[in-house]
A and B are shown apart, each in its own frame.
Chain A
Amino acid sequence: MRIIETKNLVKVYTGSTVEVRAVDSVDLVIEQGEFTAIVGPSGSGKTTLLNMVGGLDQPTSGEIIVDNVDITQLNQKQLVDFRLKNIGFVFQSYNLIPVLTAAENVSFIMELQGRVKSEIDTRTKEILSDVGLGDRLTSRPFQLSGGQQQRVAVARAMASRPKFIIADEPTANLDSKTTEKLLDMMLELNEKENITFLFSTHDQRVVNKARRVIVLEDGRIVSDERK
């Protein structure tokens, strides 16, 4: 099943002197359950592409179809709602609400979605123990290590079972051991709950874990391999 399809996706930044084609004619199809890494050197357009697919940024031209809906046609409010219902996000940093506990951070999105309390509680406990933090429910972000914080962020993204999860360099601030652990955990969840992951990285160890690797160069897809 097709989760995401982009058609001739273009993003042009027009500066005072030069024009940057940050994403250039990208046609991309992501299937349900895929675990895809977008790789490429810095400035190759990974963030721009993920932001557009995640509905955080508008393309200059082209279509992004999710679930038969071209999300480039949605207005600001509809986009917020679309993200809430369909997409999980893991950012590089500043991922958690500092005043809330790990469990509250995970529950937060489900509460915004208007789910019932009992369901939220059960799911929060389940997903946090899936990421190995079953005993840290009441810890606040500052009491957790960077790797643990990213695991809470992944748990939060997973909690409401979105159509797909977007993670822009989720391991950029982690050491290699923690990086491996986070990736293994993401893979496990991907297999267990069949949730689609689309993440960017320039870390070779992360690339090795991916099931599909898309290479970007100057905003264009130069290779796309499934393992």
Chain B
Amino acid sequence: MKLKLAWKNLWRNRRRTLITVASVFFALFFSIVMNGYMDGMWGQMIANTLKTQSGHIEIHGTDWWDDKTVDNFMTMDSLAIQELRSLSNVENVSPRIETFALASFGNVSKGVALVAVSPSQENAKSKLSSRVIEGKYLAESDNGVLIGAGLAKYLKVSVGDTLAFIGQGYQGSSAAGLFPVHGILQLAITEMDNSLVYATLPAIQTFIDMPDGYSGILITLKDDRSLDETMETINSTLHSKDYEVMNWHFTMKRLLQTAESDKAFSKFVLFILYVIVGFGILGTVIMLTNERKREFRMLVSLGMQRGRLVATLCLELLIMSLLSVVSGIAIALPLVFYFHSHPIQITGEMAEMFNDLGMEAVIPFSVEPKIFVTQVVIVIILTAIAAIYPIRKIKILKLTEQ
């Protein structure tokens, strides 16, 4: 009976109910799509960065993070590296050296960022070879280098020329070496294009006089969900105080913060939207309550407890919000699932940049259940707040007023 009465009452003012339901539906739908897009975009960005640029887990020498000098580099023998590769959740283990040096050609010099990697592994990770516009990619035990096109222009070097490098070696020694330019890279990020030099690990280890020396080891995982367990396994595998193991929540703090502040704006827009919709619900509820005051009085006079009356009214409002929620999800769900499996293609400059970083230029929508649950909870809370008005009115309703 309660349900029947609530349902019938809901359609007393059909147009008003429909307008209210539609406004909540719209807010909910818009929020789900917007959140699906934003979370999906940043999720993709972070996942790509983890896969192609950094890693889920980084291993460094204990002091390296705070003071990134050659003296704080770590050493690890190939057996230990092999052991890391054999861990179950580990996808890629990429030891590398990142340091600075002064590169000279003729009478031009420039400070450069020197990155030493395993060429084949780096290619697997970020498709670096596709960025070579002149010359050729590095071989495994090459002692040549690849340099950014901007840098090449600045130093006026071309493929086949030899660069002189001066830098800091291990334990205070100074490092010096000659490296032939094997290829020139086109890198989308100008800063990188103007200063980046790729070399092989053996070449740079010799340069800094530190066999088995690395600035760090990047590890990507198959499944980020068992990040903590894998961290522990790695820690116990290494069992050494010489290493520091960090996960990406720490190493990519800045990117995460950027993501949060970008999402914050869309959250603010949605917040405003929900405030408007909340007032819409409240308006409907206030009108509905005042229209029915005499009827409420009659019902309590006849012997309906105020609590039961409140329950019937709340049921009516609940049905109203469920109608919006169910229809909103029913329409939004297929849409976000579609854009989850058929991601939006990015075009233009943004797409170029994605490609350069070895990322696919697409934005798949996020279908995290959290997104849906949050919107539903918001709508229910808004309705609950609006319900305070009639609850209060019914509680203080006088039976003898005419």
Contacts and interface: CB of A to CB of B under 8 A. Distances in A.
Contact of A99 (B8, B301, B306, B399): B8
Interface in A181-209: none
Interface in A31-85: 51, 54, 56-57, 77, 80-81, 83-85
B9 A83 contact: no
A99 B308 CA distance: 18
B7 to A, nearest CB: 9
B295 interface: yes
Contacts of B9: 99
A57 to B, nearest CB: 5
Nearest to A113: B303
B157 to A, nearest CB: 86
A144 interface: no
Contacts of A77: 305
A111 interface: yes
A80 B303 contact: yes
Interface in A76-114: 77, 80-81, 83-85, 87, 89, 91, 94-95, 97-100, 108-109, 111-113
Contacts of B8: 99-100
Contact of A56 (B11, B12, B399): B399
A153 to B, nearest CB: 10
A75 B295 CA distance: 22
Interface in B282-307: 294-295, 298-306
A109 B298 contact: no
Contacts of B305: 77, 80-81
B303 A85 contact: yes
Contacts of B308: 112
A145 B258 CA distance: 69
Interface in A96-146: 97-100, 108-109, 111-113
- Interface residue tally on A, bucketed by range: 20 to 34
B400 A83 contact: no
A106 B298 CA distance: 14
A97 B295 contact: yes
Contacts, number: 53
Nearest to A92: B402
Contacts of B300: 80
A216 B306 CA distance: 33
B295 A112 contact: no
- Interface residue tally on B, bucketed by range: 20 to 34
Nearest to A140: B8
B143 to A, nearest CB: 88
What's the dominant secondary structure at chain A's contact region?
A: mixed
A84 B400 contact: no
A85 B305 CA distance: 12
Residue in B5, B300, B301, B306 whose Cβ sees the most chain A Cβ within 10 Å: B301
B5 A99 contact: yes
Interface in B215-243: none
Contacts of A84: 302-304
B5 A112 contact: no
Residue in B12, B295, B303 whose Cβ sees the most chain A Cβ within 10 Å: B303
A56 B294 contact: no
A56 B306 CA distance: 14
Contacts of B1: 108, 111
A57 B298 contact: no
A89 B301 CA distance: 8
B1 to A, nearest CB: 5
Given A51-B400, A94-B294, A97-B295, A83 B302 contact: yes
A62 B167 CA distance: 105
Interface in B74-104: none
A84 B303 CA distance: 4
Nearest to A88: B302
A96 to B, nearest CB: 8
A178 to B, nearest CB: 21
A94 B295 contact: yes
A99 B12 contact: yes
B12 A89 contact: no
Interface string B1-45: 100010011011000000000000000000000000000000000
Chain A to chain B: the 3 pairs with minimum beta-carbon distance, closest first: A84-B303, A99-B8, A83-B303
16 contacts: A56-B400, A57-B399, A57-B400, A80-B303, A81-B305, A83-B302, A89-B302, A99-B5, A99-B12, A100-B8, A108-B1, A109-B303, A112-B302, A112-B303, A112-B304, A112-B308
